[in-house]
Chain A
Amino acid sequence: MTNERDEILMSQLADGELASDQANELLLNVLDDAAGRERLKQMLRLRQTTVGWRNRQPERPILAAVDRPGAFRRDRVAWRMGGLAVAACVGGLLVLAGIWATGWLGSPVRPLHQWQIAPAPDAPTGLARVTPEQMRQVAMVFALHESVAGPLAWYAADDQTIRVASARGTEGGRMPIAVLLKLDPMNPGAAAQTLVIVCREQQPAVIELPSESPDRSGLRIYLVPRTVNGKVEMQYAIAADGDSSQAVQSSIAGQRRIGLTETLLGQLALGDKLLNVEATAWPMR
Chain B
Amino acid sequence: MNSTPDNDISQHVPRIYRVALRILGDHDRAQDVAQETCLKALRGIKKFDGRSSLSTWLHRIAVNCALTHLRQDKRQAGSRVDLDGEVAEVLVAVGGRPAGNVEQAELQRIASSLVGALPDDCRTAFVLTQLDGYDYDAVSEILNVPRGTVASRVYRAKKILLEQMNAHMDGKAKS
Q: Is the interface of A mostly helix, strand, loop or mixed?
A: mixed
At the interface, yes or no: A202 with Cβ under 8 Å from chain B? no
At the interface, yes or no: A81 with Cβ under 8 Å from chain B? no
Knowing A57-B14, A58-B30 are in contact, say whether A11-B158 is a contact too (CB < 8 A). yes
At the interface, yes or no: A46 with Cβ under 8 Å from chain B? yes
With a cutoff of 8 Å between Cβ atoms, the chain B residues found around residue A55 in the complex are 97
B151 in complex: contacting residue of A17, A42, A45, A66, CB < 8 Å:
A17
A255 in complex: contacting residue of B6, B32, B99, CB < 8 Å:
B32
Evaluate contact between B133 and A49: CB separation under 8 angstroms: no
The interface-forming segment of B35-43, B48-56, B75-83 is: B35-43
Q: In the complex, which residues 1-16 of chain A have their Cβ closer than 8 Å to any Cβ of chain B?
A: 4, 7-8, 11-12, 15
At the interface, yes or no: A92 with Cβ under 8 Å from chain B? no
**Chain B, interface residues (CB within 8 Å), range:** 35 or more
Give chain A nearest CB distance to B125 CB in angstroms.
11
Q: How far is the CA of A227 from the CA of B7 in the complex (A)?
A: 25
Q: Is the interface of B mostly helix, strand, loop or mixed?
A: helix
B154 in complex: contacting residue of A11, A53, A63, A67, CB < 8 Å:
A11
Knowing A59-B27, A255-B31 are in contact, say whether A49-B104 is a contact too (CB < 8 A). yes
Chain A residues at the B interface, C-beta cutoff of 8 Å: 4, 7-8, 11-12, 15, 17, 42-43, 45-50, 52-60, 62-67, 222, 235, 237, 239, 248, 251, 253-255
Chain B residues at the A interface, C-beta cutoff of 8 Å: 4-7, 9-10, 13-14, 16-18, 21, 27-28, 30-32, 34-36, 38-39, 41-43, 45, 91, 96-97, 99, 104, 107-108, 111, 129-133, 135-136, 151-152, 154-155, 158-159, 161-162, 165-166
